[in-house]
Structure 1
Amino acid sequence: MQKIKDLINKYYEGLAYLFFGGLATLLNLVVFAVFQAALGTAFATGIGNILDNVICILFAYWTNRTFVFKSQNTGKAAWAEFGQFVSCRIATMVMDQVIIWVGVSLLGPHVGFAVANAKLWAMGVKLFSQVIVILSNYIFSKVLIFKKK
């Protein structure tokens, strides 16, 4: 039992990032799917994806700050940290939007495909995008935002 505790303590940050990153990704995919079901693929891959990302950025900041990197910054330092976090997440949001635009609008199924197939394709593109975004966000968070002093 002690070995397990030692491993968790040793790899806590990575494990916590995977767990809370998984929750943020799940939230991202669920909101995307809800937008897609309620308002259509065009909305979900456009404005909906941006709204989806804003919700997830706020959730991810709170979980990363509180549970993953356990930031102790207050005042101006906390605001600077938040600004860096949001800036980096906006960069990966743009990356997400570009991947979705290319994947759905340029490479996606068009004429002759059922709507269900187009929706499934869009969700697959969103999943692929999330893998790239998660890796990028971890690097930004670890190297630029929540670096240990």
Structure 2
Amino acid sequence: MQKIKLFFTKYYEALSYLFFGGLATLLNFAILLVLQAAAGREFAAGAGNVLNNALCILFAYWTNRTFVFKSKNHGKAAWSEFVQFVSCRIATAVADQIIMWLGVTVLGVTLWLFGKDCGPLLVKLVAQVVVIVSNYVFSKLFIFKKK
């Protein structure tokens, strides 16, 4: 039991990043599915994906700041941290948008499961791998770096 506790203590940051990143990814997929059901495939992969990313950026900032990197910044420092976070997330959201556009609109990736077109979900999965890795690097090295 002590070894397990030591493991979680030693790797808390990475494990909590994966956990909360997983929650953000689930939120991203849930919003995608709702938008696709409500407004169609093209909207969900286009303008809806922009809204989806904005909501997920706010969720990710709160969880990263509070639980993962445990930032203690206040005032100007906290505002600077937020601006850096959002700027980096916008960059990876652009990458997500490009991957979604290429996969869904240009390539027309289609995957039929249980009578539903899950192509956008498959493309979103690929995009999320790129986004999660990039976001961790930005957060760890630039935004929430320990001083």
Query: TM-score, normalization: structure 1?
Result: 0.93
CA–CA distance in 1 between the matches of 2:144 and 2:125?
Answer: 26
Q: Which residue of 2 aligns with 1:102?
A: 102
CA-atom RMSD, angstroms?
Answer: 1.7
Spell out, residue by residue over 1:37-75, the C-alpha distance to the aligned partner (whole angstroms, 9 max, x if none). 111011100111000000000000000000000000000
Task: Return the alpha-carbon distance in structure 2 between the equivalents of residues 105 and 49 of structure 1.
Answer: 13
Aligned residues: 146
**Maintained 8 Å contact 2:36/2:43:** yes
Which whole-Å CA distance do the structure 1 matches of 2:116 and 2:84 have between them?
Answer: 36
The CA distance in 2 between the partners of 1:118 and 1:100, in whole Å, is 18
Where structure 1 has 5 or more consecutive residues not aligned to the other structure, the ranges are none
State the match for 2:145 in structure 1.
147
C-alpha change, 1:31 and 1:22, in structure 2 (3 Å) is: same
- Counterparts of 1:92 and 1:108, CA distance in 2: 22
- Alignment partners' CA distance in 2, 1:76 and 1:119: 46
Residues 41, 119 of structure 1: 8 Å contact kept? no
Counterpart of 1:123, as a letter, is: L
TM-score for the superposition, normalised by structure 2: 0.94
- 1:109–1:118 CA contact under 8 A, matched in 2: no
**Aligned twin of 1:22:** 22
Shift of 1:117: 7.4
| Structure 2 gaps, min length 5 | none
Residues 15-46 of structure 1 deviation map (CA, whole Å, 9 limit, x = unaligned): 00000000000000000110001110111001
Partner of 1:89: 89
Segments ≥4 residues shifted beyond 3 Å: 116-119
Q: Residue type of the partner of 2:138?
A: F
